Amino acid sequence: MPKVIEVDNLSFNHGNEPVFRKIGFSVSQGDFVAIIGSNGTGKSTLLRLLLGELAPAVGNIRLFDQDIHQFRNWPKIGYLPQAGFQSGAGFPATAEEIVKANLFSQIGLLRFPKKEHREKTQRALELVDMAAYSKRLIGELSGGQQQRVMLARVLVNDPVLLLLDEPTTGVDAQTVRSLYELLSQLNRKTGLTIVMVTHDTGRAANYVSRILCLEEGSLVELEKSQVDEELLHRHKHPANDDQRRQEGDKGYGSDSGI
Ligand SMILES: Nc1ncnc2c1ncn2[C@@H]1O[C@H](COP(=O)(O)OP(=O)(O)OP(=O)(O)O)[C@@H](O)[C@H]1O
């Protein structure tokens, strides 16, 4: 399979603080990769490097077989940041408008969307099973529904690679499962390559094809069988933990099949 991401000998510092040293990995077309690691080990920093928002101190990044410095085809890459939608319940836009707004580069600023843009928007909402909610104000939807709309907003531009930063933080266990199922379906049915930062190692391991672990400045690939109980406890996110405690979800890791 062609390589979508190639990272070689990559080091990065925030100021004088080293984040990681000489890490390397590649992601092939069709992979579904989880990036795990303790708090502050540099997972979000790595995504920002892949998005060209930060420049490596040392090392190379290639995207779709092109050096990142030459790479211009950014619409091929969809990015869902942490806590995708944060405005209050009164935010004056419907789910459909939120998704359609991300087509601005195709529609053109100050122009009206055409039929094809409306159809694309509808298809993206269908992909995430939110077509029935297209006319609802985004702030009136549940956290999980808002997250699906934000995912549709990314998918509407037909990305080939999807980068997600902790998409399961702060949502209930049922929503987490249905989001993973959705991502897994998109990966299998459309061939979308997915790289997802997550603290939810136990559940994610059921769905992803590969697990990369950032720890103490190094990056290692783990076999799923290596994601044992000890690792689950080491990487579980306090926010996820609190959430599950509140919900009385005693099954943490129990459906991980590992
Ligand atoms: N803009 C910044 N300036 C200085 N230091 C930063 C900046 N952003 C992040 N850091 C530091 O870099 C390290 C890596 O941060 P990063 O957010 O990438 O970690 P993370 O693995 O995503 O953490 P978490 O799991 O808690 O979200 C941390 O020590 C953090 O404090």
Please report the DSSP string for 94-112 in residue order: BHHHHHHHTTHHHH-TTS-
Q: How far is the CA of 52 from the centre of ligand 1 (A)?
A: 16
43 lines ligand 1 (CB under 6 A): yes
Please state the φ and ψ torsions of residue 19, each to the nearest 5 degrees. Answer: -100, -55
Give the torsion sign (CA, 69, 72, 78, 82): positive
pLDDT value of residue 162: 97
pLDDT value of residue 176: 85
Question: Which atom in ligand 1 lies closest to the alpha carbon of residue 41?
Answer: 21
pLDDT value of residue 4: 97
Of all protein residues, whose CA lies closest to atom 30 belonging to ligand 1?
A: 40
Q: How far is the CA of 40 from the centre of ligand 1 (A)?
A: 5
pLDDT value of residue 85: 62
Rg of the chain (C-alpha set): 19
41 lines ligand 1 (CB under 6 A): yes
Per-residue pLDDT 10s for the chain (258 aa) are: 899 999 999 999 999 899 999 999 999 999 999 999 999 999 999 999 999 999 988 999 999 999 999 999 998 999 998 865 666 666 778 999 999 988 876 655 556 667 777 899 999 999 888 999 999 999 888 888 888 899 999 999 999 999 999 888 777 788 888 889 999 999 999 999 999 999 888 888 889 999 999 999 999 998 877 766 545 555 555 544 444 444 444 333 333 322
Question: And the tokens for 64?
Answer: 């779709």
pLDDT value of residue 96: 93
pLDDT value of residue 238: 52
**235: enclosing H helix or E strand:** helix 229-235
Give the C-alpha separation, 170 to 179, whole Å: 13
Give the C-alpha separation, 201 to 82, whole Å: 17
Q: How far is the CA of 12 from the centre of ligand 1 (A)?
A: 11
19 lines ligand 1 (CB under 6 A): yes
Instruction: Count CA within 13 A, CB hemisphere, residue 161.
Output: 20
pLDDT value of residue 240: 47
Question: Which atom in ligand 1 lies closest to the alpha carbon of residue 46?
Answer: 18
pLDDT value of residue 142: 86
pLDDT value of residue 256: 32
Give the C-alpha separation, 171 to 180, whole Å: 12
CATH entry 3.40.350.10 includes domain 1-64+160-258 = no
ipTM of this predicted structure = 0.96
Question: In the chain, where are the structural domains located?
Answer: 1-64+160-258, 82-159
42 lines ligand 1 (CB under 6 A): yes
Give the C-alpha separation, 253 to 230, whole Å: 11
pLDDT value of residue 245: 47
